[in-house]
Amino acid sequence: MTKTWLITGTSSGLGRIMTEKLLARGDRVVATLRKHAALDDLKAEYGDALSIATLDVTDTPAIHRVVTDAFNISGRIDTVVSNAGYGLFGAAEEASSDQIRTQIDTNLIGSIELIRAALPHLRAQGGGRILQVSSEGGQIAYPNFSLYHATKWGIEGFVESVSQEVAPFGIAFTLVEPGPAQTEFGGGLVAPVPMAVYDNTPAGDVRRAFAGGAFEIKGDPIKMVDAIIASADQAAAPKRLTLGAGAYASIRKALTERLAELEMQEDIAISADSDA
């Protein structure tokens, strides 16, 4: 059965690959991006199966307008994919206030507003699915990515809550948590001017590792997109979809350590309750 998808951030990376694959299998896609011409080749090949809208997700009124237009034009959208985002790469003290605001406006507020814009339309049509592209960085954290992690941990908390609010309306969520992948993400990192005081710290270590190519990036974006599409085709949506062996190992380690630390504090936690 042909499905209709709304996908943000489709000019490159996972969003572009997903758009290509969905069109190739016969689905319809409403694709948003900041540079309209980036999908001209797909528009020429697939015609009316692809609708393109220019959208900067830091523009909240534009989000609501584009989403409304997408549902009006399509009649029904089965799956909304919130994919637009980028990384701010630097120690928290190094980032400017403007850089911090733009990171939060794009990754967190932009994603929240996209979801909020889609909800009334999904309710009206009797349900649907929202895929929120997060990251392994929504469950773990590395030095030098503090502001990026703030947005990913933030959107995961938002989805955890809103998914419970709208489940009675047949709206299901999946948080997609890919590890490092062979995409243009690294090239799109925004890096503040580094401070020498951080050279001999974990932040400096990560900075040098990136500059020297020491990080092995094994994630295959094509396989990741295949897994994302397959999860959306399932009758029951997984709450989280972890992608990549490194992401699986890192998240498992972090959760195991967190649970062990929590269990060590059981007596302290219980003792803080009122005796009344």
In this structure, is residue 276 part of a structural domain? Answer: no
218 is catalytic: no
248 is catalytic: no
**Amino acid letter for position 207:** R
The model's pTM: 0.94
Closest C-alpha to 77, from 108, 122, 10, 114: 122
In this structure, is residue 135 part of a structural domain? Answer: yes
Cβ neighbours of 45 (radius 10 Å): 12
In this structure, is residue 53 part of a structural domain? Answer: yes
The tens-digit pLDDT sequence of the chain (276 residues) is: 899 999 999 999 999 999 999 999 999 999 999 987 899 999 999 999 999 999 999 999 999 999 999 999 999 999 999 999 999 999 999 999 999 999 999 999 999 999 999 999 999 999 999 999 999 999 999 999 999 999 999 999 999 999 999 999 999 999 999 987 676 666 678 889 999 999 999 999 998 888 877 667 787 899 999 999 999 999 988 999 999 999 999 999 999 999 999 999 999 999 999 887
In this structure, is residue 92 part of a structural domain? Answer: yes
In this structure, is residue 79 part of a structural domain? Answer: yes
The confidence score (pLDDT) of residue 242 equals: 96
Residues 232 and 129 sit within 8 Å (Cβ to Cβ): yes
Cβ-based burial of 174 (10 A; exposed 0-12, middle 13-18, buried ≥19):
buried
CA distance 253 to 255: 6
The confidence score (pLDDT) of residue 219 equals: 78
Q: Which of 134, 135, 146, 231 is catalytic?
A: 134
Which residues are registered as beta bridge partners of 128?
171
Q: Which of 3, 11, 135, 148 is catalytic?
A: 148
Residue 245 CB contacts under 8 Å (≥ 6 apart), including other chains: 179, 218
| 50-54 and 171-178 strand pairing | unpaired
CATH code assigned at 103: 3.40.50.720
Q: Which of 46, 82, 135, 152 is catalytic?
A: 152
86 is catalytic: no
Number of domains in the chain: 1
In this structure, is residue 39 part of a structural domain? Answer: yes
Range of the domain at 205: 4-271
Cβ-based burial of 123 (10 A; exposed 0-12, middle 13-18, buried ≥19):
middle
In this structure, is residue 101 part of a structural domain? Answer: yes
In this structure, is residue 167 part of a structural domain? Answer: yes
The confidence score (pLDDT) of residue 275 equals: 87
